[in-house]
Amino acid sequence: MLTAYISLIRPHHWVKNLFVLLPVPYAIAAGVELDEWSFLQGLLAFSLVNSAVYSFNDVIDRDRDRCHPEKKKRPIAAGQISRRSGLVTSSSLIILATILTVLADLAGNVALISSGYLLLNLIYSLWGRAIPVIDVLFLAAFFFLRILYGCALLGVDPSERLLVGGTGIALLLALGKRRGELQLESAPRFRQSLNGYTQKGMDRTIQILSSLVVLFYSEFCWSSPSYLEARWWWSLPPVYCGVLYYVLRILVAGDQRSPVEMVLRSPWIQFFLSCWGALTWMSLELN
C-alpha cells in the first residue's frame, strides 16, 4: 500500500521543478542574496502541490488511464487506491504545502503563483487537455509558472528573456510528449486532443521550435551582462547537444518516453544538463 501511495504522488516527477532553479544563478550574478533554507522550503512546498495535482488527475483520469498501456498500472486506475482516498491525499498535500509556506514566511507572490498553478491544472484536467494546441499551451504554462515561482522565492522580478526562453523549451518538451503519445495505437481513447494532431505537422513544429530555442539562447548569452565577456559562449555547446539529442530521440528514434522519463533514464541528457549547470556557473560574473 505504501508503494501504491508513493506511485500516486509521483515524487520522481519533481524533476520538472528544475525549472524553479533556473533563475538562481542569474539572480546570484545580479547580487541577490540566496536564503537557502527558505528557498528549499518553498521548493518542497511547491513539490507537494505538484503531487496533489497528480493525485487529483489520477482520480479524474481513472477510466482514460485504463486505455493506456503504461498508465493503466497507476494505483487508482488499477484499483489499488480508491477515488476517495486519492482526493483525500490530494487535499492533505495541499494543506501540508500551505503549512510549510506559512512556516517559511513565504506569502505574497509565492502563494499567488501556487494558487494559479492549482487553478490552471484544474481547468486543464476538466477542459483544456481535450482541445488540440490548447493542451500543449497549458503544459508549457505549467513550466512558465515554475520559473515565476523560482523568481518569487528569490524575491526578484522575472527576466523577460528568461521567461520567453524557458517557455520555448517547455513548448518543445510538451510537443515531444504529445508526439510520443501519438504513436500509440490506443492514443485517441486516452487523449482526445491527439485527434487534432498529425505526425508530420508535429515534426515540422518541433524542428522549427528547436531551432528558435537554440538561436534565442545564443542571443541571450551573447547580449547578457551577467556573463564574463570572454566566457559568454561556454554554456552553448551543452545546450546545442542537448536539444539536438532530444530532437533526434523524438523524430528519428521514435522515442515514446515522456520528458521526465528521458531525464531520469538517459545518461546523455543527464550529462548535458550537468555540463550546462557547471559551465553556466563558471561563466557568470558572480558577486
Q: Residues 106-162: pLDDT tens digits?
A: 878 899 999 999 999 999 988 888 899 999 999 999 999 999 999 999 999 888 888
Question: Where do the domains of the chain lie?
Answer: 2-283
Give the integer Cα–Cα distance in Å for 30 and 287.
7
Q: Residues 190-246: pLDDT tens digits?
A: 677 888 888 899 999 999 999 999 999 999 999 888 899 899 999 999 999 999 999
End-to-end CA gap in the chain: 49
pLDDT band at 277 (very low <50, low <70, confident <90, very high): very high
Residue 99: CB atoms within 10 Å: 12
Phi-psi region of 33 (alpha: psi -120 to 50; beta: other; left: phi over 0): beta
- Provide the pLDDT for residue 187: 63
| pTM of this structure | 0.93
pLDDT band at 251 (very low <50, low <70, confident <90, very high): very high
Fold observed for domain 2-283: Farnesyl Diphosphate Synthase (1.10.600)
- Provide the pLDDT for residue 287: 54
Q: Residues 41-61: pLDDT tens digits?
A: 999 999 999 999 999 999 998
- Provide the pLDDT for residue 263: 93
Q: Residues 162-195: pLDDT tens digits?
A: 888 888 999 999 999 888 888 876 666 667 788 8
- Provide the pLDDT for residue 18: 94
- Provide the pLDDT for residue 161: 84
Residue 134's Cα: distance from chain center in Å? 17
Q: What angle, rounded to 10 degrees, do the helices at 236-251 and 199-223 form?
A: 180
- Provide the pLDDT for residue 65: 81
Higher pLDDT, 194 or 264: 264
- Provide the pLDDT for residue 63: 84
Q: Residues 62-82: pLDDT tens digits?
A: 888 887 778 888 999 999 999
Cβ(63)–Cβ(71) below 8 Å: no
